[in-house]
Structure 1
Amino acid sequence: GELIDFERHLGVIKTITANVKIPVTADIEAGYGEDKETIVENVLRTADVGVAGINIEDSLKKQMGLRTMKEHCTLLSAIRMALDNHGYQDFYINARTDTYFQTENPFYETVNRAKAYVESGASGIFVPGMIDYDEIKEITMAIHAPINVLSLPELTNCHVLQELGVQRFSFGNALSDKIISFLDSNAAQLMELQDTSLLYDY
Protein backbone atom coordinates (compact mmCIF):
# COMPACT_ATOMS: atom_id res chain seq x y z
CA GLY A 1 0.00 0.00 0.00
CA GLU A 2 3.03 2.33 -0.26
CA LEU A 3 2.82 2.82 3.50
CA ILE A 4 6.59 2.71 3.96
CA ASP A 5 9.13 5.17 2.61
CA PHE A 6 10.45 4.32 -0.86
CA GLU A 7 14.07 4.52 0.35
CA ARG A 8 13.36 1.87 2.97
CA HIS A 9 11.46 -0.21 0.41
CA LEU A 10 14.39 0.01 -2.01
CA GLY A 11 16.80 -0.96 0.77
CA VAL A 12 14.84 -4.14 1.46
CA ILE A 13 14.83 -5.01 -2.24
CA LYS A 14 18.58 -4.42 -2.47
CA THR A 15 19.20 -6.72 0.51
CA ILE A 16 17.14 -9.48 -1.07
CA THR A 17 18.82 -9.27 -4.48
CA ALA A 18 22.24 -9.34 -2.82
CA ASN A 19 21.47 -12.56 -0.95
CA VAL A 20 19.60 -14.86 -3.32
CA LYS A 21 20.76 -16.77 -6.37
CA ILE A 22 17.58 -16.54 -8.48
CA PRO A 23 16.02 -13.64 -10.41
CA VAL A 24 14.04 -11.25 -8.20
CA THR A 25 10.93 -9.37 -9.28
CA ALA A 26 10.15 -6.39 -7.04
CA ASP A 27 6.64 -5.19 -6.29
CA ILE A 28 6.68 -1.40 -6.43
CA GLU A 29 2.93 -0.97 -5.97
CA ALA A 30 1.78 1.96 -8.16
CA GLY A 31 5.30 3.36 -8.46
CA TYR A 32 5.68 5.41 -5.25
CA GLY A 33 5.07 8.69 -7.03
CA GLU A 34 2.38 11.16 -8.04
CA ASP A 35 3.85 11.98 -11.44
CA LYS A 36 5.30 10.04 -14.34
CA GLU A 37 8.84 11.37 -13.92
CA THR A 38 9.08 10.26 -10.29
CA ILE A 39 7.72 6.81 -11.03
CA VAL A 40 10.09 6.29 -13.97
CA GLU A 41 13.02 7.35 -11.79
CA ASN A 42 11.90 4.91 -9.07
CA VAL A 43 11.74 2.09 -11.61
CA LEU A 44 15.27 2.86 -12.82
CA ARG A 45 16.58 2.96 -9.26
CA THR A 46 14.90 -0.39 -8.62
CA ALA A 47 16.49 -1.86 -11.75
CA ASP A 48 19.87 -0.55 -10.62
CA VAL A 49 19.83 -2.66 -7.42
CA GLY A 50 19.77 -5.83 -9.51
CA VAL A 51 16.17 -6.96 -9.92
CA ALA A 52 15.04 -8.72 -13.09
CA GLY A 53 11.65 -7.07 -13.18
CA ILE A 54 8.86 -5.25 -11.38
CA ASN A 55 5.17 -5.49 -10.66
CA ILE A 56 3.47 -2.14 -11.17
CA GLU A 57 -0.26 -1.64 -10.80
CA ASP A 58 -2.89 0.70 -12.19
CA SER A 59 -4.59 1.35 -8.82
CA LEU A 60 -4.55 4.79 -7.30
CA LYS A 61 -3.09 4.92 -3.80
CA LYS A 62 -4.52 8.09 -2.29
CA GLN A 63 -8.06 7.42 -3.47
CA MET A 64 -10.17 4.58 -4.80
CA GLY A 65 -10.14 3.85 -8.49
CA LEU A 66 -7.74 3.08 -11.31
CA ARG A 67 -5.60 5.26 -13.51
CA THR A 68 -7.30 5.73 -16.83
CA MET A 69 -6.16 3.31 -19.49
CA LYS A 70 -4.55 6.15 -21.42
CA GLU A 71 -2.66 7.43 -18.36
CA HIS A 72 -1.34 3.99 -17.47
CA CYS A 73 -0.35 3.21 -21.06
CA THR A 74 1.58 6.49 -21.21
CA LEU A 75 3.34 5.55 -17.96
CA LEU A 76 4.21 2.05 -19.16
CA SER A 77 5.58 3.40 -22.43
CA ALA A 78 7.76 5.89 -20.54
CA ILE A 79 9.02 3.16 -18.22
CA ARG A 80 9.88 0.83 -21.11
CA MET A 81 11.67 3.57 -23.03
CA ALA A 82 13.70 4.62 -19.98
CA LEU A 83 14.67 1.01 -19.22
CA ASP A 84 15.72 0.38 -22.81
CA ASN A 85 17.76 3.58 -22.87
CA HIS A 86 19.59 2.53 -19.68
CA GLY A 87 20.55 -0.95 -20.87
CA TYR A 88 17.64 -2.89 -19.37
CA GLN A 89 16.12 -4.22 -22.59
CA ASP A 90 15.25 -7.61 -21.02
CA PHE A 91 13.71 -6.12 -17.87
CA TYR A 92 10.32 -7.70 -17.08
CA ILE A 93 7.40 -5.33 -16.55
CA ASN A 94 4.53 -7.23 -14.94
CA ALA A 95 1.59 -4.86 -15.40
CA ARG A 96 -0.95 -5.52 -12.68
CA THR A 97 -4.52 -4.44 -13.26
CA ASP A 98 -6.89 -4.22 -10.31
CA THR A 99 -10.05 -4.35 -12.39
CA TYR A 100 -11.34 -7.38 -10.46
CA PHE A 101 -10.99 -5.51 -7.19
CA GLN A 102 -12.37 -2.15 -8.27
CA THR A 103 -14.81 -2.49 -11.16
CA GLU A 104 -18.13 -4.21 -11.77
CA ASN A 105 -18.27 -6.80 -14.56
CA PRO A 106 -14.47 -6.54 -14.94
CA PHE A 107 -13.69 -9.12 -17.61
CA TYR A 108 -13.94 -7.02 -20.77
CA GLU A 109 -12.27 -4.03 -19.09
CA THR A 110 -9.45 -6.38 -18.12
CA VAL A 111 -9.02 -7.68 -21.66
CA ASN A 112 -8.99 -4.15 -23.10
CA ARG A 113 -6.49 -2.92 -20.54
CA ALA A 114 -4.29 -6.00 -20.90
CA LYS A 115 -4.05 -5.61 -24.68
CA ALA A 116 -3.26 -1.90 -24.34
CA TYR A 117 -0.67 -2.49 -21.62
CA VAL A 118 1.18 -5.08 -23.71
CA GLU A 119 1.17 -2.71 -26.68
CA SER A 120 2.63 -0.05 -24.37
CA GLY A 121 5.59 -2.17 -23.31
CA ALA A 122 4.39 -4.52 -20.59
CA SER A 123 6.07 -7.94 -20.61
CA GLY A 124 3.18 -9.68 -18.87
CA ILE A 125 -0.17 -9.01 -17.24
CA PHE A 126 -1.08 -9.70 -13.61
CA VAL A 127 -4.81 -10.02 -12.87
CA PRO A 128 -5.35 -10.60 -9.13
CA GLY A 129 -8.90 -11.49 -8.16
CA MET A 130 -9.76 -13.38 -11.34
CA ILE A 131 -10.90 -16.88 -10.33
CA ASP A 132 -13.34 -18.06 -13.00
CA TYR A 133 -11.71 -20.81 -15.07
CA ASP A 134 -13.52 -19.86 -18.27
CA GLU A 135 -12.42 -16.22 -17.95
CA ILE A 136 -8.86 -17.25 -17.20
CA LYS A 137 -8.78 -19.51 -20.26
CA GLU A 138 -10.27 -16.78 -22.45
CA ILE A 139 -7.80 -14.11 -21.34
CA THR A 140 -4.77 -16.38 -21.78
CA MET A 141 -5.92 -16.99 -25.35
CA ALA A 142 -6.67 -13.31 -26.06
CA ILE A 143 -3.47 -11.75 -24.68
CA HIS A 144 -0.14 -12.35 -26.38
CA ALA A 145 1.90 -12.16 -23.17
CA PRO A 146 2.27 -14.26 -20.00
CA ILE A 147 -0.77 -14.06 -17.71
CA ASN A 148 -0.18 -13.98 -13.95
CA VAL A 149 -2.94 -14.78 -11.44
CA LEU A 150 -3.11 -14.61 -7.65
CA SER A 151 -3.67 -17.57 -5.35
CA LEU A 152 -7.02 -17.38 -3.55
CA PRO A 153 -9.03 -20.06 -1.71
CA GLU A 154 -10.86 -20.81 -4.96
CA LEU A 155 -7.66 -20.79 -7.05
CA THR A 156 -4.83 -22.95 -5.79
CA ASN A 157 -3.69 -25.67 -8.20
CA CYS A 158 -0.72 -24.89 -10.44
CA HIS A 159 -1.39 -27.88 -12.70
CA VAL A 160 -4.95 -26.74 -13.42
CA LEU A 161 -3.75 -23.19 -14.07
CA GLN A 162 -1.07 -24.42 -16.44
CA GLU A 163 -3.74 -26.25 -18.45
CA LEU A 164 -5.68 -22.96 -18.63
CA GLY A 165 -2.63 -21.21 -20.10
CA VAL A 166 -1.44 -19.34 -17.01
CA GLN A 167 2.34 -18.85 -16.96
CA ARG A 168 2.89 -17.03 -13.66
CA PHE A 169 1.26 -17.73 -10.28
CA SER A 170 1.64 -15.56 -7.17
CA PHE A 171 0.66 -16.47 -3.64
CA GLY A 172 1.22 -12.96 -2.32
CA ASN A 173 1.43 -12.75 1.44
CA ALA A 174 -0.58 -15.96 2.08
CA LEU A 175 2.44 -17.97 3.27
CA SER A 176 3.90 -15.21 5.45
CA ASP A 177 0.44 -14.55 6.95
CA LYS A 178 0.15 -18.22 7.86
CA ILE A 179 3.60 -18.24 9.47
CA ILE A 180 2.93 -15.04 11.43
CA SER A 181 -0.42 -16.42 12.62
CA PHE A 182 1.34 -19.58 13.81
CA LEU A 183 3.95 -17.53 15.69
CA ASP A 184 1.30 -15.32 17.28
CA SER A 185 -0.72 -18.33 18.43
CA ASN A 186 2.28 -20.13 19.90
CA ALA A 187 3.65 -17.00 21.58
CA ALA A 188 0.28 -16.42 23.23
CA GLN A 189 0.23 -20.01 24.50
CA LEU A 190 3.78 -19.69 25.85
CA MET A 191 2.83 -16.59 27.82
CA GLU A 192 -0.38 -18.14 29.12
CA LEU A 193 1.01 -21.55 30.08
CA GLN A 194 4.48 -20.43 31.16
CA ASP A 195 5.61 -23.75 29.69
CA THR A 196 7.70 -24.42 26.58
CA SER A 197 6.62 -28.03 26.04
CA LEU A 198 4.44 -27.04 23.07
CA LEU A 199 7.63 -26.17 21.16
CA TYR A 200 8.52 -29.85 21.08
CA ASP A 201 5.20 -31.22 19.83
CA TYR A 202 5.72 -32.68 16.37
Structure 2
Amino acid sequence: MTKIQEFNELHSSQEILFLGNAWDLLSALTLEKVGFKAIGTTSWGIANSLGFADGELIDFDRHLGIIKTITENVKIPVSADIEAGYGEEIETIVNNVLRTADVGVAGINIEDSLKKQKGLKEISQHCKLLSKIRTALDHNGYKEFYINARTDTYFQKENPFFETIDRAKSYVESGASGIFVPGLTEEGEIKEITLNITAPLNVLSLPGLTNCNKLKKLGVKRFSFGNALSDKIIAYLEKNAKQLMELKDTSHLYEG
Protein backbone atom coordinates (compact mmCIF):
# COMPACT_ATOMS: atom_id res chain seq x y z
CA MET A 1 0.00 0.00 0.00
CA THR A 2 1.34 3.45 -0.90
CA LYS A 3 1.46 6.33 1.57
CA ILE A 4 -1.27 8.06 -0.45
CA GLN A 5 -3.55 5.02 -0.16
CA GLU A 6 -2.73 4.65 3.52
CA PHE A 7 -3.55 8.32 4.15
CA ASN A 8 -6.87 8.04 2.31
CA GLU A 9 -7.81 4.97 4.35
CA LEU A 10 -7.18 6.87 7.58
CA HIS A 11 -9.97 9.27 6.53
CA SER A 12 -12.46 6.46 5.94
CA SER A 13 -11.70 4.54 9.13
CA GLN A 14 -14.26 4.16 11.92
CA GLU A 15 -11.85 6.13 14.10
CA ILE A 16 -11.27 9.85 13.73
CA LEU A 17 -7.87 10.71 12.23
CA PHE A 18 -6.00 12.60 14.95
CA LEU A 19 -3.29 14.35 12.99
CA GLY A 20 -0.03 15.33 14.69
CA ASN A 21 1.21 18.74 13.54
CA ALA A 22 5.00 18.99 13.18
CA TRP A 23 7.28 21.91 12.36
CA ASP A 24 10.70 20.25 12.15
CA LEU A 25 12.24 16.79 12.07
CA LEU A 26 12.49 16.40 15.85
CA SER A 27 8.80 17.21 16.39
CA ALA A 28 7.82 14.85 13.54
CA LEU A 29 9.91 11.97 14.89
CA THR A 30 8.50 12.55 18.39
CA LEU A 31 4.90 12.49 17.14
CA GLU A 32 5.59 9.29 15.22
CA LYS A 33 7.30 7.71 18.23
CA VAL A 34 4.33 8.29 20.55
CA GLY A 35 1.88 6.73 18.10
CA PHE A 36 0.37 9.32 15.77
CA LYS A 37 -0.76 7.61 12.55
CA ALA A 38 -0.03 10.58 10.29
CA ILE A 39 1.63 13.97 10.39
CA GLY A 40 0.53 17.31 9.02
CA THR A 41 3.12 20.05 8.81
CA THR A 42 2.17 23.42 10.31
CA SER A 43 3.19 26.40 8.19
CA TRP A 44 2.86 28.65 11.27
CA GLY A 45 5.22 26.43 13.26
CA ILE A 46 7.72 26.14 10.40
CA ALA A 47 7.73 29.92 9.90
CA ASN A 48 8.21 30.51 13.65
CA SER A 49 11.10 28.05 13.79
CA LEU A 50 12.85 30.15 11.12
CA GLY A 51 12.14 33.48 12.79
CA PHE A 52 9.19 34.55 10.62
CA ALA A 53 5.47 35.07 11.06
CA ASP A 54 3.03 32.88 9.14
CA GLY A 55 1.78 34.07 5.76
CA GLU A 56 4.11 32.83 2.99
CA LEU A 57 6.94 35.11 4.18
CA ILE A 58 9.61 32.45 3.79
CA ASP A 59 10.99 31.23 0.49
CA PHE A 60 8.99 28.28 -0.86
CA ASP A 61 12.16 26.26 -1.52
CA ARG A 62 13.14 26.67 2.11
CA HIS A 63 9.69 25.63 3.29
CA LEU A 64 9.65 22.65 0.94
CA GLY A 65 13.08 21.59 2.18
CA ILE A 66 11.74 21.16 5.71
CA ILE A 67 8.73 19.21 4.42
CA LYS A 68 11.09 16.97 2.44
CA THR A 69 13.30 16.33 5.48
CA ILE A 70 10.28 15.30 7.55
CA THR A 71 8.84 13.08 4.82
CA GLU A 72 12.13 11.28 4.18
CA ASN A 73 12.65 10.44 7.86
CA VAL A 74 9.26 9.22 9.09
CA LYS A 75 7.44 6.04 8.07
CA ILE A 76 3.91 7.41 8.48
CA PRO A 77 2.07 9.53 5.86
CA VAL A 78 2.73 13.27 5.81
CA SER A 79 0.39 16.02 4.65
CA ALA A 80 1.98 19.36 3.76
CA ASP A 81 0.50 22.71 4.73
CA ILE A 82 1.40 24.97 1.80
CA GLU A 83 -0.88 27.86 2.82
CA ALA A 84 -2.42 29.29 -0.38
CA GLY A 85 0.18 27.71 -2.67
CA TYR A 86 2.94 30.32 -2.66
CA GLY A 87 1.95 32.01 -5.89
CA GLU A 88 -0.36 34.49 -7.58
CA GLU A 89 -0.81 32.58 -10.85
CA ILE A 90 -2.58 29.21 -11.14
CA GLU A 91 0.36 27.73 -13.05
CA THR A 92 2.79 28.66 -10.26
CA ILE A 93 0.59 27.13 -7.56
CA VAL A 94 -0.01 23.94 -9.56
CA ASN A 95 3.73 23.58 -10.10
CA ASN A 96 4.35 24.08 -6.37
CA VAL A 97 1.80 21.37 -5.57
CA LEU A 98 3.51 18.94 -7.96
CA ARG A 99 6.90 19.76 -6.43
CA THR A 100 5.41 19.08 -3.00
CA ALA A 101 3.98 15.75 -4.15
CA ASP A 102 7.40 14.86 -5.57
CA VAL A 103 9.03 14.95 -2.10
CA GLY A 104 6.79 12.08 -1.01
CA VAL A 105 3.91 13.61 0.90
CA ALA A 106 0.49 11.97 0.74
CA GLY A 107 -1.52 15.17 0.65
CA ILE A 108 -1.66 18.93 1.07
CA ASN A 109 -3.64 21.62 2.83
CA ILE A 110 -4.42 24.53 0.53
CA GLU A 111 -6.47 27.51 1.64
CA ASP A 112 -8.75 30.07 -0.02
CA SER A 113 -7.41 33.14 1.85
CA LEU A 114 -5.80 35.98 -0.03
CA LYS A 115 -2.23 36.58 1.10
CA LYS A 116 -1.55 40.18 0.05
CA GLN A 117 -4.85 41.55 1.35
CA LYS A 118 -7.67 40.55 3.68
CA GLY A 119 -10.41 38.41 2.20
CA LEU A 120 -11.10 35.15 0.45
CA LYS A 121 -10.72 34.18 -3.19
CA GLU A 122 -13.91 34.12 -5.20
CA ILE A 123 -15.48 30.65 -5.12
CA SER A 124 -15.24 30.22 -8.89
CA GLN A 125 -11.58 31.29 -8.87
CA HIS A 126 -10.64 28.82 -6.14
CA CYS A 127 -12.65 26.04 -7.77
CA LYS A 128 -10.73 26.58 -11.01
CA LEU A 129 -7.47 26.27 -9.08
CA LEU A 130 -8.57 23.08 -7.29
CA SER A 131 -9.68 21.55 -10.58
CA LYS A 132 -6.33 22.35 -12.21
CA ILE A 133 -4.47 20.89 -9.22
CA ARG A 134 -6.53 17.69 -9.30
CA THR A 135 -6.00 17.23 -13.03
CA ALA A 136 -2.26 17.88 -12.80
CA LEU A 137 -1.85 15.43 -9.92
CA ASP A 138 -3.86 12.72 -11.69
CA HIS A 139 -1.83 13.15 -14.90
CA ASN A 140 1.51 13.00 -13.08
CA GLY A 141 1.11 9.75 -11.20
CA TYR A 142 -0.55 11.12 -8.08
CA LYS A 143 -4.08 9.79 -8.40
CA GLU A 144 -5.92 9.89 -5.04
CA PHE A 145 -3.36 12.37 -3.65
CA TYR A 146 -5.25 14.01 -0.76
CA ILE A 147 -6.28 17.63 -1.31
CA ASN A 148 -7.56 19.07 1.97
CA ALA A 149 -9.29 22.28 0.89
CA ARG A 150 -9.20 24.77 3.72
CA THR A 151 -11.75 27.56 3.83
CA ASP A 152 -11.18 30.51 6.15
CA THR A 153 -14.80 31.64 6.27
CA TYR A 154 -14.90 31.34 10.08
CA PHE A 155 -11.84 33.54 10.38
CA GLN A 156 -12.95 36.19 7.91
CA LYS A 157 -16.75 36.28 7.61
CA GLU A 158 -19.25 37.66 10.11
CA ASN A 159 -21.92 35.04 9.33
CA PRO A 160 -19.93 32.19 7.81
CA PHE A 161 -22.16 29.12 8.13
CA PHE A 162 -24.05 29.07 4.82
CA GLU A 163 -21.10 30.31 2.79
CA THR A 164 -18.98 27.56 4.33
CA ILE A 165 -21.40 24.91 3.08
CA ASP A 166 -21.52 26.52 -0.39
CA ARG A 167 -17.74 26.68 -0.61
CA ALA A 168 -17.29 23.15 0.74
CA LYS A 169 -19.70 21.64 -1.79
CA SER A 170 -18.09 23.55 -4.65
CA TYR A 171 -14.57 22.58 -3.58
CA VAL A 172 -15.48 18.89 -3.40
CA GLU A 173 -17.06 19.07 -6.86
CA SER A 174 -13.81 20.64 -8.10
CA GLY A 175 -11.62 17.79 -6.87
CA ALA A 176 -11.00 18.36 -3.15
CA SER A 177 -10.66 15.15 -1.13
CA GLY A 178 -11.61 16.75 2.18
CA ILE A 179 -12.68 20.06 3.69
CA PHE A 180 -10.88 21.90 6.50
CA VAL A 181 -12.77 24.60 8.41
CA PRO A 182 -10.53 26.16 11.08
CA GLY A 183 -12.40 28.39 13.53
CA LEU A 184 -15.53 26.23 13.43
CA THR A 185 -16.41 25.40 17.05
CA GLU A 186 -20.20 25.27 17.52
CA GLU A 187 -21.35 21.65 17.77
CA GLY A 188 -24.64 22.12 15.94
CA GLU A 189 -22.90 23.80 13.02
CA ILE A 190 -20.20 21.13 12.90
CA LYS A 191 -22.82 18.37 12.70
CA GLU A 192 -24.84 20.23 10.07
CA ILE A 193 -21.78 20.75 7.88
CA THR A 194 -20.82 17.07 8.08
CA LEU A 195 -24.34 16.18 6.94
CA ASN A 196 -24.20 18.59 4.01
CA ILE A 197 -20.88 17.64 2.42
CA THR A 198 -19.79 14.39 0.83
CA ALA A 199 -16.16 14.55 1.94
CA PRO A 200 -14.39 14.18 5.30
CA LEU A 201 -14.49 17.26 7.53
CA ASN A 202 -11.32 18.41 9.29
CA VAL A 203 -11.61 20.80 12.24
CA LEU A 204 -8.93 22.62 14.21
CA SER A 205 -8.38 22.32 17.95
CA LEU A 206 -9.30 25.52 19.81
CA PRO A 207 -10.18 26.27 23.46
CA GLY A 208 -13.46 24.43 24.06
CA LEU A 209 -12.95 22.18 21.02
CA THR A 210 -10.44 19.60 22.15
CA ASN A 211 -11.91 16.11 22.40
CA CYS A 212 -11.61 13.57 19.60
CA ASN A 213 -14.40 11.34 20.89
CA LYS A 214 -16.93 14.20 20.97
CA LEU A 215 -15.95 15.28 17.47
CA LYS A 216 -16.25 11.73 16.15
CA LYS A 217 -19.88 11.63 17.36
CA LEU A 218 -20.55 14.85 15.42
CA GLY A 219 -19.28 13.25 12.21
CA VAL A 220 -15.83 14.85 12.08
CA LYS A 221 -13.27 12.61 10.34
CA ARG A 222 -10.02 14.52 10.97
CA PHE A 223 -8.81 16.62 13.89
CA SER A 224 -5.59 18.65 14.04
CA PHE A 225 -4.01 21.03 16.54
CA GLY A 226 -2.14 23.31 14.12
CA ASN A 227 0.43 25.51 15.83
CA ALA A 228 -0.85 24.92 19.39
CA LEU A 229 1.89 22.42 20.29
CA SER A 230 4.71 24.42 18.69
CA ASP A 231 3.46 27.56 20.48
CA LYS A 232 3.49 25.70 23.81
CA ILE A 233 7.02 24.40 23.21
CA ILE A 234 8.25 27.89 22.29
CA ALA A 235 6.64 29.37 25.41
CA TYR A 236 8.27 26.68 27.56
CA LEU A 237 11.65 27.38 25.97
CA GLU A 238 11.30 31.13 26.56
CA LYS A 239 10.21 30.63 30.18
CA ASN A 240 13.21 28.42 30.97
CA ALA A 241 15.69 30.61 29.10
CA LYS A 242 14.41 33.64 31.01
CA GLN A 243 14.77 31.76 34.30
CA LEU A 244 18.37 30.87 33.43
CA MET A 245 19.18 34.50 32.76
CA GLU A 246 17.43 35.86 35.86
CA LEU A 247 18.82 33.32 38.35
CA LYS A 248 22.20 32.71 36.75
CA ASP A 249 21.60 29.14 37.92
CA THR A 250 20.94 25.96 35.93
CA SER A 251 19.50 23.81 38.73
CA HIS A 252 15.91 23.95 37.45
CA LEU A 253 17.02 22.20 34.25
CA TYR A 254 17.56 19.01 36.26
CA GLU A 255 14.35 19.03 38.30
CA GLY A 256 11.75 16.31 37.74
TM-score bin (small chain): over 0.9
Counterpart CA distance in 1 for 2:229 and 2:76 is 19
Using the TM superposition, give the Cα deviation of residue 141 of structure 1 relative to its aligned residue in structure 2, in angstroms.
0.9
The residue that corresponds to 2:132 in the other structure is: 78
Cα offset, 1:74, TM superposition: 0.3
Q: Does 1:41 align with 2:114?
A: no
User: Aligned partner of 1:72: which letter?
Assistant: H
Secondary structure of the equivalent of 1:149?
strand
Give the equivalent residue in structure 2 for 1:145. Answer: 199
Residue 122 of structure 1, CA deviation: 0.0
Q: Distance in 1 between matches of 2:86 and 2:110?
A: 10
Q: Which amino acid aligns with 1:156?
A: T
Please state how far the C-alpha of 1:22 moved relative to its aligned partner. 0.4
Correspondence for 2:235: 181
- How far 1:200 moved relative to its partner? 2.0
- Show CA shifts across 1:70-122 (max 9, x none): 00000000000000000100200000000001111100000000000000000
Q: Which deviates further from its counterpart, 187-196 or 79-88? A: 187-196
Structure 1 position 191, deviation (Å): 1.1
Q: How many residues align?
A: 202
Instruction: Name the structure 1 match of 2:82.
Output: 28
- Quick one: which of 36, 59, 65 aligns to 1:5? 59
Give 2:119's aligned amino acid. Answer: G
- Match of 2:158, SS state, is coil
Q: Distance in 2 between matches of 1:166 and 1:109?
A: 19
| Aligned residue runs from structure 1 range 119-198, under 5 A | 119-198=173-252
Residue aligning to 2:156: 102
Q: TM-score w.r.t. structure 2 length?
A: 0.78
Question: Which runs of no fewer than 5 residues in structure 2 stay unpaired?
Answer: 1-54
Match of 2:112 in 1: 58
Measure the CA separation in 2 of the matches of 1:9 and 1:190: 32
What code does the residue aligned with 1:170 have?
A: S
Provide the identity percentage. 76
**Which whole-Å CA distance do the structure 1 matches of 2:243 and 2:143 have between them?**
52
Q: Could you say what secondary structure the match of 2:109 adopts?
A: strand
Return the letter of the residue paired with 2:222.
R
The one of 117, 123, 147 aligned to 2:171: 117
SS at match of 2:203: strand
Name which of structure 1's ranges 190-199 and 59-68 shifts more when overlaid on structure 2: 190-199
Which stretches in structure 1 are left out of the alignment for 5+ residues?
Answer: none
Instruction: Give the Cα separation in 1 of the matches to 2:144 and 2:75.
Output: 18
Shift of 1:194: 1.0
**CA deviation after TM superposition for structure 1 residue 197, in Å:** 1.1
2:195 counterpart letter in structure 1: M
Tell me how far apart the structure 2 counterparts of residues 93 and 35 of structure 1 sit (CA, whole Å).
Answer: 19
Distance, in Å, in 2 between the alignment partners of 1:84 and 1:167 is: 24
State the distance in 2 between where 1:154 and 1:70 align.
33
Q: Name the residue aligned to 1:90.
A: 144
Partner of 2:51: none
Counterpart amino acid of 1:51? V
CA RMSD of aligned residues (A): 0.5
CA drift of 1:153 comes to 0.4
